[in-house]
Chains A and B, each alone.
Chain A
């Protein structure tokens, strides 16, 4: 079974500053990795995904993440945040089963962007 750890439950940051949200995973097999964002009272929106290939993945809204197999990490970064980036961010993992893509989520990181 796989699991995801998001060590930071809250990350405060000033507008236009860079931010990194950390995600570590554990799995005995190859995995696929995802970052989702959840705005208040809304469902989750896919920011980016890593399936294979280049370890640096670019997503929507200026976010990017780097897959590091040796450190089993998939940290999310943005060089300059905006007030509208305030939301809950979830890292998730799945593995190839030949069937459905069952996601295992971390507990989330609340990003709070301040003026």
Chain B
């Protein structure tokens, strides 16, 4: 297995544009998480899925943000009408859902978003 992958690695967009990021988790992992990391800060939880169901969303996830995991495999995170404050690293992580493996999240390399 190649681990968690994210695409693109970098995205530069103009304020007001929409952007979409993709995350491919480790194949046998049924939990998928999205986090956002701004400069000098630790990652902050955004949302998570168990299979295709989105089970929790952070208050950080405004109505401009939407995440999907349509077939319980890859996930997308879309930001509409981007703002400069959306500039951050968006991290995806996956894990199993049983036993101790539930507590071992594997992170992807992240997508760095710059809004100009």
Chain A residues engaging chain B, CB cutoff 8 angstroms: 4, 32, 34, 36, 41-46, 49, 51, 90, 92, 94, 99-108
- The 7 nearest A-B residue pairs measured at CB: A105-B42, A43-B107, A44-B107, A100-B48, A43-B109, A102-B45, A90-B42
Using A45-B107, A100-B56 as known contacts, say yes or no to A108 and B102 having CB atoms under 8 A apart: no
Q: A49-B104, A107-B41, A108-B40 are in contact. List 17 more A-B contacts (CB 8 A).
A: A42-B109, A43-B4, A43-B107, A43-B109, A43-B110, A44-B43, A99-B50, A99-B56, A100-B31, A100-B50, A101-B95, A102-B45, A102-B56, A103-B43, A103-B105, A105-B44, A106-B42
Q: Would you call A49 and B91 a contact (CB within 8 A)?
A: no
Q: Which of A32, A90, A100, A106 contacts B33 (CB 8 A)?
A: A100
List 8 interface pairs A-B (beta carbons < 8 Å), by A numbering. A42-B110, A99-B50, A100-B31, A103-B105, A105-B42, A108-B40, A108-B41, A108-B42
Q: Would you call B109 and A107 a contact (CB within 8 A)?
A: no
Q: Would you call B103 and A32 a contact (CB within 8 A)?
A: yes
Interface residue total, chain B, C-beta cutoff 8 A? 27
- A45 to B91 Cα, complex, angstroms: 12
B4, B43, B108, most chain A CB atoms within 10 A? B43
Enumerate chain B residues within 8 angstroms of A46, measured Cβ to Cβ. 104-106
- A106 to B103 Cα, complex, angstroms: 17
Enumerate chain B residues within 8 angstroms of A51, measured Cβ to Cβ. 100, 103
Q: B29-83: which have CB < 8 Å to A? A: 31, 33, 35, 40-45, 48, 50, 55-56
Closest to A43 in B: B107
Q: Would you call B103 and A94 a contact (CB within 8 A)?
A: yes
Closest to A42 in B: B109
A54 to chain B, nearest CB (A): 14
B34 to chain A, nearest CB (A): 11
Q: Which of A44, A99, A107 contacts B40 (CB 8 A)?
A: A107
B29 to chain A, nearest CB (A): 12
Residues 80-116 of chain B: 1 if any A CB is under 8 Å from the residue's CB, otherwise 0? 0000000000010101000010111111111000000
- A42 to B48 Cα, complex, angstroms: 21
